[in-house]
């Protein structure tokens, strides 16, 4: 077990190194931050001065090495755009993304399971078929379009919900939360639906097909024969057996909810790390881009590591 863990950790470290290397080699193609930092009247001397101050005149391998050394120290550099430490900016922005991810994850799981069960039990019903058809929209429409449609319906036409931002937030020990104010909660609704819709339809379809599969099993038939109520069969026996693969997929999807919040955050001007990243790409803010990519890859590596460890813990055959 111990040697397995050590091996996995080493592999995880290697993945992070490679992600960083690929990221830095790509930054050369994203563009030149100098033009964004200086006005149009800047002279060639100003440009060169800034380039050398930022170390951009060095080859990317050297830039990468310096980044690594500093990152090991917990220092992710200074944002080109804001002039503030990147770690501070990300810490400031993370609560917005995490709260959005949590709410949309919750929406996706509850919505997906409830609708999945419903469409599985009422397989032939009109409503179930209707839901299945509509769910195709959730899978196939791009996120930004769903976001804009929701904004036009609920903000412009009906005037119920805000079209952008987080509303009022309350600061608790450096964590800004939107859960405690009415406007903060209202502001969460549209972005959460936009971000969670794809995952919800995914989970719903997964639950439905698993459920249909389980309902065909012999033990369900025996349960019916024993005269158990339909409710007990569906929820106590069938649902429980359905959830195993659902939980695996859901765990893996959680990472992508955070990583793919970028588009939703851009549409709703949601002040999270995804929007920060988009701004950084446009401005060629290399320290912010690098820190974000490393952070996201740490998250994915951690989730995968956890899954691997759990598998070993669950399945004795993998331990040998």
Q: In 10 A of CB 221, how many CB atoms?
A: 12
| Nearest CB to another protein, comparing residues 194 and 242 | 194
Q: Are 8 and 308 in contact (CB under 8 A)?
A: yes
Q: Is 245 in the site for another protein (CB under 8 A)?
A: no
Q: Is 151 in the site for another protein (CB under 8 A)?
A: yes
H/E segment holding residue 172: strand 170-172
Q: Is 159 in the site for another protein (CB under 8 A)?
A: yes
| Nearest CB to another protein, comparing residues 23 and 238 | 23
Kindly write down the DSSP assignment for every residue of 136-156, as one continuous string: HHHHHS-HHHHHHHHIIIIII
Handedness of CA 98, 263, 202, 249 (dihedral sign): negative
**DSSP state, 85?**
B
Q: Is 230 in the site for another protein (CB under 8 A)?
A: no
Q: Is 177 in the site for another protein (CB under 8 A)?
A: no
| Nearest CB to another protein, comparing residues 67 and 283 | 283
Q: Is 30 in the site for another protein (CB under 8 A)?
A: yes
User: SS3 breakdown of the chain: % helix, strand, coil, rounded to 5?
Assistant: 75, 0, 20
Judged by CB under 8 A, which of 15, 16, 42, 102 binds another protein?
42
Q: Is 152 in the site for another protein (CB under 8 A)?
A: yes
Q: Helix, strand or coil for residue 175?
A: strand
Judged by CB under 8 A, which of 23, 115, 214, 276 binds another protein?
276
The C-alpha atoms of residue 273 and residue 246 are separated, in whole angstroms, by: 28
Give the shortest CB-285-to-another protein separation in angstroms: 10
Q: In 10 A of CB 195, how many CB atoms?
A: 32
| Nearest CB to another protein, comparing residues 273 and 301 | 273
Q: Is 298 in the site for another protein (CB under 8 A)?
A: no
Give the shortest CB-43-to-another protein separation in angstroms: 5
Which residue stretch of 50-58, 215-223, 243-251, 307-315 sits at the interface with another protein (rule: CB under 8 A)?
Answer: 50-58
The C-alpha atoms of residue 143 and residue 201 are separated, in whole angstroms, by: 13
The C-alpha atoms of residue 217 and residue 215 are separated, in whole angstroms, by: 6
Judged by CB under 8 A, which of 39, 74, 173, 174 binds another protein?
39
Binding site for another protein (CB under 8 A): 29-33, 35-46, 49-50, 53-54, 78, 80-84, 148, 151-152, 155-156, 159, 162-165, 266-269, 271, 275-276, 278-279, 282-284
């Amino acid at each position: 077990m111990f040697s397995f863990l050590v091996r996995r950790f080493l592999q995880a470290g290697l993945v992070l190194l490679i992600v960083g290397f690929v990221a830095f080699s790509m930054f050369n193609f994203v563009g030149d931050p100098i033009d964004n930092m200086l006005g149009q009247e800047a002279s060639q001397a100003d440009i060169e001065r800034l380039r050398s101050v930022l170390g951009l005149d060095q080859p990317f391998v050297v830039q990468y090495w310096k980044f690594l050394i500093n990152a090991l120290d917990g220092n992710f550099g200074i944002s080109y755009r804001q002039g503030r430490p990147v770690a501070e900016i990300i810490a400031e922005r993370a609560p917005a993304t995490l709260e959005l991810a949590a709410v949309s994850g919750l929406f996706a799981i509850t919505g997906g399971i409830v609708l999945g069960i419903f469409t599985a039990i009422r397989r032939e019903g009109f409503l179930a078929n209707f839901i299945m058809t509509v769910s195709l929209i959730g899978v196939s429409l791009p996120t930004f379009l769903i976001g804009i449609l929701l904004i036009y319906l609920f903000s412009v036409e009906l005037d119920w919900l805000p079209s952008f931002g987080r509303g009022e937030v309350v600061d608790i020990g450096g964590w800004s939360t939107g859960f405690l104010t009415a406007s903060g909660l209202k502001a969460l609704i549209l972005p959460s639906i936009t971000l969670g819709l794809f995952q919800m339809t995914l989970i719903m379809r997964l639950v439905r097909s698993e459920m249909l599969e389980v309902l065909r099993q012999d033990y369900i038939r025996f349960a019916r024969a024993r005269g158990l109520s339909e409710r007990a069969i569906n929820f106590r026996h069938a649902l429980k057996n359905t959830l195993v693969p659902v939980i695996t997929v859901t765990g893996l999807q959680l990472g992508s909810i955070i990583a793919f919040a970028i588009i939703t955050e851009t549409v709703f001007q949601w002040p999270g790390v995804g929007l920060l990243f988009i701004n950084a790409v446009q401005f060629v803010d290399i320290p912010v881009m690098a820190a974000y990519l490393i952070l996201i890859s740490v998250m994915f590596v951690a989730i995968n590591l956890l899954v691997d460890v759990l598998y070993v813990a669950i399945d004795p055959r993998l331990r040998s």
